[in-house]
């Protein structure tokens, strides 16, 4: 009865291991969250860099509509916005606080299309080809995009991605080591029970079964608790900054949740299996000298 109670789900030993494993999985899940959030953030930044297509003043309404339809069919276009001469003037008046047409005597701005490209095309090589293609279009005066900004964004994203992958690998190793130590300490305290079962003729498979089941239970419960903590943290962050929804979507949260569950099950199972094998191979005398 004492053995069964010690092995119970609500034993102090199990609860301690549960809390420790949960905290480690929260750390691991947060790293996974950062990795996928960084990917979405890089896409979000790239897809919010504008290409401005300046149109000739003599372009007709029909030609403008035809150009809009043609642009919308291009595979690199994520979104498209038309800005008329009057709208451009109004936006500048609001921004500058003065109306330049009052002292110039005419509207100095041109009608334009503002394009946001898909993230896979947001690099200078692709944009250079797109720009050349657009400039050759009838009634297009010029095509402008922030080349230096694009260079800076892509360069910083590459640096950040490398740093984040190194951190992710490091924390994955640390997480595995911490969970492994937690499981090993739990099994270490029961090494004499394992030895007693061996002496009465129990097979290794029979001895492993309850420990592995408990290890899997530990992994599932820890993963569920870790996922709840991470989701609560993301929900809290969203209440303060709604823009987080643009980079932390349902797909990211699903991947994080499943990753935490997979890590929880895999790590606790493997750690339990190999720790048990160590003590199963030991003789009675060796157990007293470790």
Distance CA 218, CA 258 (A): 16
Question: 206: which residues sit within 8 A by CB, 6+ positions away?
Answer: 197
- Chain centroid offset of residue 166 CA: 15
Domain 50-145 - what CATH class? alpha beta
Residue 103 makes CB contacts below 8 A (sequence gap 6+) with none
* pTM to 2 decimal places: 0.67
pLDDT tens, per residue, the chain with 290 residues: 444 444 455 577 788 888 888 988 998 898 888 888 887 877 787 778 788 889 988 888 888 899 999 999 999 898 999 988 888 878 778 777 777 777 777 777 888 999 998 888 888 788 888 888 888 888 888 888 877 777 777 777 778 778 877 887 887 788 778 878 877 777 777 777 887 887 787 787 788 888 888 889 989 999 999 999 999 998 888 888 777 887 788 888 999 999 999 999 998 888 888 888 877 777 666 666 65
Q: What share of the chain is helix, strand, coil (3-state, %, to 5)?
A: 75, 10, 20
257 Cβ contact list (under 8 Å, min separation 6): 29, 227, 230, 231
Whole-number Å distance between alpha carbons of 239 and 243: 10
- The structure tokens listed for 68 are 């809009």
Would you list the domain boundaries of the chain? 2-44+153-287, 50-145
Which of 144-154 are b and which e, b meaning 16 or more Cβ less than 10 Å from the residue's Cβ?
A: ebeeeebeebb
The whole-angstrom separation of Cα 177 and Cα 171 is 10
120 secondary structure, DSSP code: G
The strand order across the sheet containing 50-55 reads 77-83, 112-117, 50-55, 140-145
**Residue 221 confidence (pLDDT):** 93
């Amino acid at each position: 009865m004492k053995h069964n109670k010690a092995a119970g789900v609500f034993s102090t030993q199990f609860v301690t291991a549960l809390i420790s494993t949960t905290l480690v999985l929260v750390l691991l899940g947060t790293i996974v969250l950062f990795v996928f959030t960084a990917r979405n953030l890089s896409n979000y930044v790239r897809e919010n860099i504008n290409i401005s297509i300046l149109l000739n003043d003599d372009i007709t309404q029909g030609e403008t509509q035809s150009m809009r339809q043609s642009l919308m069919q291009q595979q690199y276009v994520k979104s498209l916005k038309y800005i008329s001469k009057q709208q451009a003037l109004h936006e500048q008046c609001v921004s500058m606080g003065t109306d330049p047409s009052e002292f110039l005597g005419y509207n100095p701005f041109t009608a334009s299309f503002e394009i946001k490209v898909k993230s896979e095309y947001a690099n200078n090589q692709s944009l250079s080809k797109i720009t050349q293609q657009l400039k050759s279009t009838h009634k297009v005066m010029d095509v402008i995009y922030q080349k230096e900004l694009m260079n800076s964004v892509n360069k910083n994203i590459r640096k950040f991605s490398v740093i984040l992958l190194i951190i992710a690998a490091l924390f994955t190793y640390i997480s595995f080591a911490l969970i492994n130590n937690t499981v090993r300490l739990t099994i270490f305290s029961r090494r004499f029970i394992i030895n007693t079962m061996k002496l009465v003729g129990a097979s290794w498979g029979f001895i492993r079964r309850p420990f592995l089941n408990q290890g899997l239970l530990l992994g599932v419960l820890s993963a569920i608790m870790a996922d709840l903590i991470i989701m609560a943290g993301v929900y809290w962050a969203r209440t303060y900054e709604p823009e987080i929804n643009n980079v932390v979507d349902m797909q990211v949260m699903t991947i994080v949740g499943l990753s935490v569950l997979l890590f929880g099950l895999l790590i606790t199972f493997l750690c339990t299996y190999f720790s048990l094998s160590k003590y199963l191979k030991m003789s009675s005398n060796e157990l007293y000298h470790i």
